[in-house]
Amino acid sequence: MRTHFQTRRLALIDPFGVSRETSTEKFNTFVEVDDGLGEAAPLSFYGESRETLEAVLPLLLAVIEEDPFAIEQSHANMQRRIGMNSAAKAAVDMALYDRLGKRLGQPLYRIWGLDPEKTPLSTYTIGLDTTEEMVRKTRQAEGYPILKIKMGQPGDLEQLQAIREVTDKPIRVDANAAWTPKEALSKIDAMRELGVEFVEQPLPPENVEGMRWLYRRSRLPLIVDESCKTSKDIPGLVGQCDGINIKLMKSGGLHEALKMVAAARAHGLQIMLGSMIESSLANTAAAHLSPLVDYADLDGHVLIAEDPYEGLFLEEGKIRLPDGPGLGVTPRV
Ligand code: MG
């Protein structure tokens, strides 16, 4: 069995801001297991970095099974070796599924029995910036029918109003844990007037009581992201939100993401599928699950100046899955 990993710099087309930080470039680590490909996008918020990835990947790659069908066992081995580091595990997991699909000669969505026509529309994300820049990016997002607007900086409601003046597209908002419960409630009332569809992660994940308080009063649906990493978090989220945002970098890959889909549905929750700033490789991996979800935010690759891979395609926002075996992703070089 051949394994390899390499970190690559991904320059962003525009600086990308969320309530915690702004970035102009990302360093993602790309993994190979035989002919299977994977990608890790580390996030310091979840305790991962280029350094932790590069330290942990050799330990994970050393314990995976040679048998391409033994994915459950490979995950059990990885979990026993390292408790956390979900982005590192996600990269290995993607490579394992890609290798399996290539061995079977079928795309993953077909192996899972999913209809590629049932993919949702993906939002296009406008990161935090000056009002002028956010309005400019909104105007530029012509080819995307639904917008996701980042909020959580001073004056964010006024920024949202300025954006609303130049577009009548559906808008979803992500506060990335920046508000207090009372602040969130008053903004939600104003956002409802502006035609916002739902709000993602209004409060910090540790403010469980605040989320319960807000959920009882909110006139817009609430989706949690930072509050929900794996299926273990899901039962406790009932009564705090209407839905969860699944991301491979939080779940540790497709294997756990599938369990999260089942757990969320069993608890009556809606499902959004999101991504960090990832190339077409990791975004395509997530996209194979997208026929199972209600909402998608898989535009991370569109924000990268030179995407090293080719895979999913957003056609007027509609997610089009590649039909090659496994992930169906090919290097662009
Ligand atoms: Mg989010």
- Coil, strand or helix at 245: strand
Query: How close is the Cα of 202 to the center of ligand 1, in Å?
Result: 10
Query: How close is the Cα of 244 to the center of ligand 1, in Å?
Result: 10
- Coil, strand or helix at 7: strand
Distance CA 111, CA 325 (A): 10
DSSP tag of 231? G
Phi, psi of 270 (to 5 degrees): -80, 160
Assessment of whether the complete model's pTM goes beyond 0.85: yes
CATH 3.40.1280.10 fits 3-105, yes or no: no
Query: How close is the Cα of 70 to the center of ligand 1, in Å?
Result: 32
Query: Where do the structural domains in the chain lie, given as residue ranges?
Result: 3-105, 110-331
Query: How close is the Cα of 278 to the center of ligand 1, in Å?
Result: 14
Query: How close is the Cα of 226 to the center of ligand 1, in Å?
Result: 7
Query: How close is the Cα of 31 to the center of ligand 1, in Å?
Result: 25
Contact 145, 317 (CB under 8 A): yes
Query: How close is the Cα of 227 to the center of ligand 1, in Å?
Result: 10
Closest to 274 in 3D by CA, of 225, 311, 233, 310: 225
Query: How close is the Cα of 327 to the center of ligand 1, in Å?
Result: 24
Contact 159, 186 (CB under 8 A): no
Q: Residue 15 has what pLDDT?
A: 85
Partnered with residue 124 across adjacent β-strands are 147
Query: How close is the Cα of 174 to the center of ligand 1, in Å?
Result: 6
Query: How close is the Cα of 18 to the center of ligand 1, in Å?
Result: 9
Q: What is the pLDDT along the chain (333 residues), one digit of tens a residue?
A: 999 999 999 999 988 888 777 889 999 999 999 999 999 999 998 999 999 999 999 999 999 999 999 999 999 999 999 999 999 999 999 999 999 999 999 999 999 999 999 999 999 999 999 999 999 999 999 899 999 999 999 999 999 999 999 999 999 999 999 999 999 999 999 999 999 999 999 999 999 999 999 999 999 999 999 999 999 999 999 999 999 999 999 999 999 999 999 999 999 999 999 999 999 999 999 999 999 999 999 998 998 999 999 999 999 999 999 999 999 999 997
Residues with a beta carbon under 5 angstroms from ion ligand 1: 174, 200, 225
Query: How close is the Cα of 68 to the center of ligand 1, in Å?
Result: 33
Distance CA 297, CA 319 (A): 10
Distance CA 53, CA 35 (A): 21
Query: How close is the Cα of 63 to the center of ligand 1, in Å?
Result: 32
Contact 42, 87 (CB under 8 A): yes
CATH architecture of 110-331: Alpha-Beta Barrel (3.20)
Which stretches does DSSP call E strand in the chain?
A: 3-17, 22-33, 36-40, 124-126, 147-150, 171-174, 196-200, 222-224, 243-246, 270-274, 295-297, 309-310, 313-315, 318-320, 330-331
